[in-house]
Amino acid sequence: MSSDRRARLTRLAALLQGTPHLGPAYEEAKRVVRAFRKPAFYEVATRCNLFCEGCYYFSDDFKPIQGVEDIDTWDRFFAAEAERGVTMAYFVGAEPALHQDRLMAASKYFPYGNIGTNGTVRIDPAVPYRIGVSVWGVDADTDADLRGGRSFHKAIRNYAGDPRAILLYTLTKTNLGDARRLAEIGRDNGLPVTFNMYSPTHTYLRKLTEGEGNDRQFFRISNLDSNLLWDDDSLSQVRRTMDALIDDFPGTVVYSKAYNAWATQSGPLYDIDPETGIARDCHSRMIGQMRYFKTDLQQGQEKCGTSDAVCSECRMYSGGWSSKFEPRDADLVSEASLADWLEMIATLGRIFLIEQDVSRRSTLAA
């Protein structure tokens, strides 16, 4: 254990000793964090039925690979991963819902899972994992502009009332005005709502800076003067809007004011290595116990779960929330800062986890 981490744990213990009323929240935070103690990313699909502007997946260096098709091979692979001790499985790719047999195979082995989907294809109710239904716009024209097709209302029809689903709204400068309407629709359809902040990829930034012409796929509407990049004014607008929605929709909006303040601060959120441009303290990095597997079931060399993202510009919810698993120095300066961190971990649990049958979870985790 590093001396810095030891010092933080000492400060944490002292704060908890002086604030015994925070003890139950801390015990709950430990329970949530334990679910993520050994995560892995599984790319289960390399095709998609949408063309999202600035797509996270289809980058300049995307090269189709010959993936494994045999479902029995996938089943054996997931069984071996469970034996390796994986507790949280992230199912990613272009569109995981297009290969539901792989999701079904995985569901036999991992106690917790999280599936990212565009919502246009309903995932079989037998898959027992949290489903993050990606939303880019409520207004039909905004939806179509940002996704290359109208998908929002189909996603609502597919997942209304589904306890596995949470609407994940990717905020951009062009769709912020839809956020309140989305919260209303989520409330009326039994769907919680949380937020992601668009984070540019190297591919997207290259096309902007080189003045590349628009195409019919992942760069249809952006240019150097009108694009999805954040500035200080738009970040301040996000901060105000999200705080208001947290207050106005407490039963629907699953977000945190403390996290919102952190995610909308000016400048890079992470400690960036000046030589590589890679974040040194983002917990979505494929280092330590983290692994990323492609559809050929071989371990990939991705730097993180969304490897084309520009670390210095990244405000993505996956890296942001995973970087909150341990309190940092700023979280341990006072009772108030510790309470904020505990509230962030509780919110993280609501975003990424759904409670399953206790006997099933215990069996899988054993």
pLDDT number for residue 58: 87
Q: Which domains does the chain show, CATH number per domain?
A: 20-365 (3.20.20)
User: Using 50, 70 and 90 to split pLDDT, how confident is the model at 363?
Assistant: low
Please tell me the pTM assigned to this model: 0.94
Tens of pLDDT along 251-306? 999 999 999 999 999 999 999 999 999 999 999 999 988 999 999 999 998 999 89
| Three-class HEC string of the chain | CCHHHHHHHHHHHHHHHHCHHHHHHHHHHHHHHHCCCCEEEEEEECCCCCCCCCCCCCCCCCCCCCCCCCHHHHHHHHHHHHHCCCCEEEEEECCHHHHHHHHHHHCCCCCEEEEEECCCCCCCCCCCCEEEEEECCCCHHHHHHHHCCCCHHHHHHHHCCCCCEEEEEEECCCCHHHHHHHHHHHHHCCCCEEEEECCCEHHHHHHHHCCCCCCCCCCCCCCCCCCCCCCHHHHHHHHHHHHHHHHHCCCCECCCHHHHHHHCCCCCCCCECCCCCCECCCCCECCCCCCEECCCCCECCCCECCCCECHHHCCCHHHHHHCCCCCCHHHHCCHHHHHHHHHHHHHHHHHHCCCCCHHHHHHHHC
Mean pLDDT for the chain overall: 94
pLDDT number for residue 14: 94
- 359 pLDDT above the threshold of 50: no
- 109 pLDDT above the threshold of 90: yes
